[in-house]
Structure formats: C-alpha cells, structure tokens
Amino acid sequence: EVNLLESGGGLVQPGGSLRLSCAASGFTFTDFYMTWIRQPPGKAPEWLGVIRNKGNAYTTEYNPSVEGRFTISRDNTQNILYLQLNTLRPEDTAIYYCVRYQFGRLDAWGQGTSVTVSS
Amino acid sequence: DIQMTQSPSSMSVSLGDRVTITCRASQDIGKFLSWFQQKPERSPKLMIFGATNLEAGVPSRFSGSGSGSDYSLTINSLESEDTGIYFCLQHKEYPFSFGSGTKVEIK
C-alpha cells in the first residue's frame, strides 16, 4: 500500500525557516516524480514544485511564487522527500502536502502537515 | 503561467441530480487536466486524469470531458457521498495550476 507521511510543520515566526519531511513507502520511490502542494485555509491548493525521478536525474521545477525561498530535495536511500522553507511569510500559512506524480496523475497524497507563520 | 477559471463556485443540488462543473484554461492545455474531490479535513482525491480517464475505484457516475481550453466534470445522479469541494488542475506545463474550487452541497 502506498503511504506518504509528512512531518515537520508547526508555528514559526515571520522570516523563519522550517524543513518538512515526507516519508514514502509502498512503492519504488526512485521511479516517481514527487511534488509539494500547499493549501491555505479555505483556499484552493497551490502547486509548489516537483523533483523528478532517477531517470530524469532528480531535477527540480518550482512555482515562481516560491522559487528562491523553497527548496525540494530527496533522500533516495531512506525514501524521504524534503521541502526546505526559508524566509517565511504569514501568507505561507497552509497545509503542506507531498504528492506522488507520474504519467499525468497526482495519485497519492499524504495527510498533510500544518505550517503557521505568525509572530 | 496558465490560469484556470472554474465555475460555479458552489452549487446546492438534490440527490439524483446531474451535476456539471467546468474549468476553462487561459490557453490550450491539450487534455492535461485532472479533477480532484476534497472532503473536509481530508487530502484531495484524484477522480479524473487526462481529462476523461476515471481513476481506479472512482464510481462510474463520474465522467470528464473537454479539449483545448474547456473541460467539464459531470456527476450523473448525485449521491450523498459526492458532497465536497471539487478542483481542477492543469498539468500541461509548469507551474501546474488549480481552479478555485466548486463546493457541492445537498439541497
């Protein structure tokens, strides 16, 4: 069974940093693109970025809205996806989801981890 | 960036009704369009991918259609378990972008 479990969220002051993790299991992690998507309270989801699979050299793409502040990486020995969040702003407050992506399907979502940016 | 315009924002319908939700992209997205259902306090769930393909386990009363820049999700004969918020997503090009959502409630 495919399972994605995010962690690392919490309350952080504006300007602060967080690193989110997503532990993946139940599939061959290196075969899949992995994405991060966030959803502010009561709003639509926002795609943040993607890290490609082994066959595509684990390259990354980002939403310009967060590029330069957020960094996606992966530990393929431990099957963990990361999202480094820097210079956080109140508008970054959201539930952050890791999502598996392959062949046009965002087919497996974690339960999300909550990030609140507030002083 | 591609903008997705979704309508309506909400709808109140009766059990057994047919529901249609639409998404219009700001450019041709070549059927790179998915639909998601989200229940309160839950992660979104993939319902339709490639504009018309039903995800495994999704009831056949759900269907997707469209091409170019215009797409629709149809629920034939709405059941109570179909309430929630529906989002479209284009994945034609980065950055992927979601519609603003349609809340479906029972009248």
The amino acid at B16: G
Q: Does B8 sit behind a cis peptide bond, omega within 30 degrees of 0 on the bond before it?
A: yes
| Amino acid A103: pLDDT | 85
pLDDT digits (tens, 9 = 90+) for A105-114: 999 999 999 9
Q: Which two tokens stand for residue B80?
A: 């109570």
Question: Which pair of tokens denotes residue A40?
Answer: 């502010």
Q: Which residues pair with B6 in a beta bridge?
A: B23
Which pLDDT score, from 0 to 100, does residue A68 have? Answer: 93
Q: pLDDT over 70 for what percent of chain A?
A: 100
Q: How far is B89 from chain A (nearest CA, A)?
A: 9
Q: Do A45 and B98 touch (CB under 8 A)?
A: yes
Residue with structure tokens 């059990």? B15
Residue A92: Cβ within 10 Å count? 20
Which residues in chain A are contacts of B46 at CB distance < 8 A? 105-107
* Model confidence band, residue B39 (pLDDT cutoffs 50, 70, 90): very high
Average the pLDDT over A37-61 and give the result: 97
What local confidence, expressed as pLDDT, does residue A104 receive? Answer: 87
CA–CA separation, A88 vs A116, rounded Å? 9
Whole-angstrom Cα distance, residue B64 to residue A36? Answer: 25
In the predicted structure, residue A63 carries a pLDDT above the cut 90: yes
Distance in Å, alpha carbon of B68 to nearest chain A alpha carbon: 16
Partner residue opposite B43 with nearest CB, options A47, A61, A112: A112
pLDDT band at A44 (very low <50, low <70, confident <90, very high): very high
Grouping H, G, I as helix, E, B as strand and the rest as coil, residue B81 is helix
pLDDT at residue A76 is higher than 90? yes
Which residue do the tokens 């409630």 mark?
Answer: B105
